[in-house]
């Protein structure tokens, strides 16, 4: 059976109306949002440009760099990758447009992304919960301590010793060690049970309080971007549970491949089967329907 055509302008109008009517907004996001912003881990052309040596070894995207690599190659990869996606000096235009869309509505952000693009795009850092970690920090691999450290000096040191031709860090003394025990370190992102989540727990508690103290009749609008089924328990399913918890809440699910929403939430959800960049483009167009807040 043919699916009805998706009406982008109508979806944008609905989101505008729901934003106007909302008491609070929770933005949730997975990897698809950063991909729409230009940081697509599956982009083979960008991978070849940044990592020619790894491309020659047969790797084709950042998603595939989970294979074991010698430390000099592994840290060469991390240095280039993190410098590209985490320490770019300019705010990302797509995230700035999203911040502008939310405007002065009371809001929070919860994201599985570890690139700090929300904070760099104008969102208040103390209202961004990143339960999967942050490329901006590193930790002991054991770990010997719950302390984590700023990764920017580490990345700068690695890049100074990086050889683009081989993809390796040529000065082995530049390879990082734990400042506390001298052991191996890793970037502070959730890969296994050794992940140190201490830096992110305060924001998680503040978000929990913000949600927990909201009246049950709160008109909560959840704007979900690019959260698929790689880690649905982090973003996708919690958003659905919150929509059920608040009977006047609404959920907008923006996802080009998995925009479907639960049947029991029919009438309070809006599936948007496009990338976030295409949806935000639609907000530059005139409304199809009159703005109910404007006088005739």
Compute the mean pLDDT over every residue in the chain, rounded to the nearest whole number: 94
- Domains present along the chain, CATH in parentheses: 8-282 (3.40.50.1220)
- pLDDT tens-digit readout, 164-207: 999 999 999 999 999 999 999 999 999 999 999 999 999 999 99
Q: What percentage of residues in the chain have a pLDDT greater than 90?
A: 89
pTM summary value: 0.93
Cα separation values, 65 from 38, 233, 248, 290, Å: 19, 23, 43, 50
Is a pLDDT exceeding 60 seen at residue 151? yes
Cα separation values, 135 from 93, 113, 220, Å: 20, 9, 30
Lowest mean pLDDT of 84-93, 167-176, 262-271, name the range: 84-93
Average of pLDDT values for 148-169? 97
Q: How many whole angstroms separate alpha carbon 170 and alpha carbon 108?
A: 43
Average of pLDDT values for 236-250? 98
Count of CB atoms within 10 A of residue 13's CB?
20
Q: How confident is the model at residue 68 (pLDDT cuts 50, 70, 90)?
A: confident
Average of pLDDT values for 219-240? 96
For residues 185, 188, 190 and 192, what is the CA-based torsion angle, rounded to 10 degrees?
20
Average of pLDDT values for 23-33? 97
- 177 with 149: CB under 8 angstroms? no
Q: What is the pLDDT of residue 290?
A: 57
Average of pLDDT values for 10-30? 97
Higher-pLDDT residue of 89 and 92 is 92
Q: What is the pLDDT of residue 236?
A: 97
For residues 183, 175, 60 and 83, what is the CA-based torsion angle, rounded to 10 degrees?
110
Q: What percentage of residues in the chain have a pLDDT greater than 70?
A: 95
Q: What is the pLDDT of residue 59?
A: 92
Q: How confident is the model at residue 292 (pLDDT cuts 50, 70, 90)?
A: low
Q: What is the pLDDT of residue 294?
A: 53
Q: How confident is the model at residue 1 (pLDDT cuts 50, 70, 90)?
A: very low
Q: What is the pLDDT of residue 105?
A: 97
């Amino acid at each position: 059976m043919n699916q009805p055509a998706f009406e982008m302008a109508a979806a944008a109008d609905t989101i505008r109306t729901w934003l106007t009517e909302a008491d609070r907004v929770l933005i949730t996001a997975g990897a698809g949002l950063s991909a729409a912003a230009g940081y697509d881990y599956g982009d083979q052309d960008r991978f070849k440009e940044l990592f020619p040596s790894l491309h020659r070894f047969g790797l084709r995207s950042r998603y595939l760099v989970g294979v074991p690599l010698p430390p000099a190659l592994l840290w060469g990869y991390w240095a280039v990758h993190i410098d590209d996606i985490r320490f770019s000096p300019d705010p990302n235009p797509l995230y700035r447009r999203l911040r502008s869309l939310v405007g002065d509505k009371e809001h929070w952000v919860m994201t599985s992304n570890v690139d700090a693009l929300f904070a760099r795009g104008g969102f208040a850092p103390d209202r961004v919960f990143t339960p999967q970690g942050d490329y901006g920090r590193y930790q002991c691999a054991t770990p010997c301590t719950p302390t984590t450290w700023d990764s920017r000096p580490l990345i700068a040191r690695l890049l100074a010793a990086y050889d683009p031709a081989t993809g390796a860090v040529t000065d082995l003394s530049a390879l990082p060690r734990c400042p506390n025990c001298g052991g191996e370190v890793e970037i502070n992102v959730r890969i296994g049970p050794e992940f140190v989540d201490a830096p992110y727990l305060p924001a998680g508690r503040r978000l929990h309080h913000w949600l927990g103290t909201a009246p049950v009749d709160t008109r909560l609008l959840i704007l979900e971007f690019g959260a698929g089924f790689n880690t649905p328990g982090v973003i996708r399913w919690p958003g659905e549970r919150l929509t059920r918890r608040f009977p006047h809440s609404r959920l907008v699910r923006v996802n080009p491949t998995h925009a479907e929403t639960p049947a029991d939430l029919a009438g309070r959800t809006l599936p948007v089967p496009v990338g976030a960049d295409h949806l935000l483009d639609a907000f530059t167009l005139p409304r199809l329907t009159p703005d109910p807040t404007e006088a005739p």
